[in-house]
Amino acid sequence: MREGDIWPGLRNPDGSRWHYLDTAATAQKPQEVIDAVTRAIGADYATVHRGVYTRSADMTLAFEAARRKVAGLLGGDEGEIVFTRGATEAINLVAQTWGQANLKAGDRILLSVLEHHSNIVPWQLLRERTGVEIDVCPLTPDGRIDLEAAERILTPAHKLVAFAHVSNVLGSMLPVEQAVKLAHAVGAKILLDGCQAVARLAVDVKALGCDFYVCSAHKLYGPTGIGALWARADILDAMPPWQGGGSMIDRVTFAKTTYAPAPQRFEAGTPAIVEAIGFGAAVDFVQGIGLDAIHAHEAALVARARGELSRLNSVRLFGPEDSAGIVSFALEGVHPHDLGTILDEEGVAIRAGHHCAQPLMDHLGVPATARASFGIYSDDSDIAALVRGIERTMRIFG
Catalytic positions are 356
Stated length of the chain: 398
Q: What are phi and psi of 22, to 5 degrees?
A: -130, 35
* AA identity, residue 21: L
Alpha helices (H) in 75-216, listed in sequence order: 87-94, 100-102, 121-130, 147-153, 176-185, 205-208
Task: For residue 307, give Cα distances in angstroms to 21, 315, 317.
Answer: 17, 11, 10
Residue 384 region, left (φ>0) first, then alpha (ψ -120 to 50), else beta?
alpha
CA distance 225 to 280: 13
Distances (CA, A) of 259 to 92, 97, 215, 235, 362: 20, 14, 25, 16, 44
* Torsion angle defined by CA atoms of residues 233, 242, 181 and 205, in that order, rounded to the nearest 10 degrees: 50
CA atoms of 320 and 158, how far apart (whole Å): 29
Give the max Cα distance, the chain: 74
Q: Looking at residue 347, what DSSP letter applies? A: T
Phi/psi at 81 (nearest 5 deg)?
Answer: -105, 120
| Phi-psi group of 110: left, alpha or beta (phi > 0 → left; psi -120 to 50 → alpha; rest → beta) | beta
Q: Of 125, 123, 128, nearest to 161 (Cα)?
A: 123
Give the separation between CA 188 and CA 182, rounded to whole angstroms.
9
Beta-strand relationship, 369-373 and 108-112: unpaired
DSSP 8-state assignment for residue 334? B
Euclidean distance between CA atoms 109 and 128, whole angstroms: 13
Give the chain's end-to-end CA distance (angstroms, integer): 37
